[in-house]
Amino acid sequence: MAEKGRIVKIWSDIVEIEFSKNSLPSIEHLLTLHDGKTYLLVQRIVDETTVRAIIIYTSQDISINDEVINTKHSFAVPIGKESKNNIYNFWGLPLLKNRGTKPKYIEMNSIINKTRYLGTNNEIIETGIKAIDFFMPIVKGYKLGIFGGAGVGKTVLMKEIIFNINKKYKSTSNIFIGSGERSREAIELFNELESSNLMKNSNMFISKMNDSPGARMSIVPIGITAAEYLRDYEKEDVLLFIDNIYRFIQAKNEVSASLGKKPSVGGYQSTLESDVSNIEDRLFKNENGSITSFQTIFLPMDDLSDPSAVAVFNHLNGNLVLSRNQSAKNIFPAFDPLASSSNSINEKIIGKKHFDAIIEAKRILKTYKDLEDVMLILGFDELDKESKIIVKKALQLEAFFTQNFFMTEHFTKSPGVFVSMEDTVDSVIRILEGKYIKQNPEIFSYVGSNKDIPTDEELNL
């Protein structure tokens, strides 16, 4: 028999419900009313008979004394191979009809596995994006954060990563989690995956920006539960894409404020660190398979020291920063190699040639940045010979790391380019060796590799 309670208090998007002593629901359990058309999620146990829940979805107005039913479970998550090729909302309902998907369901957060793989076998996943493959190679099971303010290209870059990796690695499974983003972006991504025949290996879990904070914060663990099932039970390598982890934090903050919890640094919830770690600590490689995750993180005011960004930083293997200064120079992707970092930059993982090239490239770019103020005051011609060479190499490197994307072909009218990691490294080494030092940096703008560009020696310069 269903355990029932009644609403005794309502404020904001919080509902207080009274149950009998022996039928109190647990935290994260769903409650329903209005014939199962309105959903609440338990967030706090007030006393032995009372709980507080947040509103997930309402089909009609909620009133005092309304009867509430305890479902005794949390969100249902569609899992397994049968769930692929569809889009799901936070209820776990498929949004696309006639797709032939008949998923099994499990409860959210019910199969958390903390067992990690501690081997030394590091398999690199090529993205075909020069800036990523060179400066921060992706290792299977790693977590990459894509940081940036509004409009610098986070979502476009993520779409390109999805497209390129699936183009090269056919057997991967994709899970895309859209938390608090525009529905237009989800539709565009679906259309791209569908037209590229990639949707058959993909699931999408979407909670739009106009959904309740409870829905926006829950969609992330829902999608991660689906990824964990594919890794641990289907023994698959999973690519997990989360857009945008900041919206998850924001939704958690809204719920925290509604519950009357005191804010912490920067106005964020006092549980910020644990909220993030409860998500991030589930994404890794083990003996069953791997979850390699790519997460966009919005930066309020382009501030890398924002508490939300710092909380996520601590859990990532790579931090890719998209800079407004780079985009202002017409450098796309607007990647900032000096602000970005990765713990895959290790000689044992990427090899000595690649490692040395990264160190030298960063040295040149850092020196160039230091010289920019000098050039503004004195001009380029007043630099010494060595500094002029460094500036030229830096400008050539900046131009080289621009790239046309497949995802932007329809408005740039330029074909996308996939560049192998080997070609990227060799191309950078040729620039570092000064083989193009007498040529204009613009010859490298939006090209693939530079192996077809004649060197100074070949041009008799």
CATH number at residue 8: 2.40.10.170
Same domain, 275 and 342: yes
Which DSSP category does 419 fall into? -
Indicate which residue of 52, 143, 154, 435 is catalytic: 154
Same domain, 10 and 92: no
Domain harbouring 374, CATH code: 1.10.1140.10
Contact 313, 339 (CB under 8 A): no
Contact 398, 331 (CB under 8 A): yes
Indicate which residue of 4, 99, 167, 182 is catalytic: 182
Question: Could you count the other beta carbons within 10 Å of the beta carbon of residue 366?
Answer: 14
Q: Give the structural domain span for 11.
A: 4-73
Same domain, 170 and 245: yes
Same domain, 278 and 297: yes
Which DSSP category does 323 fall into? -
Q: Give the number of domains in the chain.
A: 3
Indicate which residue of 84, 126, 130, 181 is catalytic: 181
Predicted model pTM: 0.93
- R_g (Cα) of the chain, nearest Å: 25
pLDDT in tens, 325-370: 999 988 999 999 999 999 999 999 999 999 999 999 999 999 999 9
In the listed set 346, 367, 397, which residue is the last one of a domain according to the structure? Answer: 346
Same domain, 179 and 258: yes
Residues of the chain with pLDDT under 50: none
Same domain, 394 and 256: no
pLDDT in tens, 154-201: 989 999 999 999 888 877 899 999 998 888 888 888 988 898 888 999
Q: Is 181 a catalytic residue?
A: yes
Same domain, 159 and 49: no
pLDDT in tens, 68-110: 999 999 999 999 889 999 999 988 989 888 887 788 999 999 9
In the listed set 318, 346, 374, which residue is the last one of a domain according to the structure? Answer: 346
Same domain, 24 and 160: no
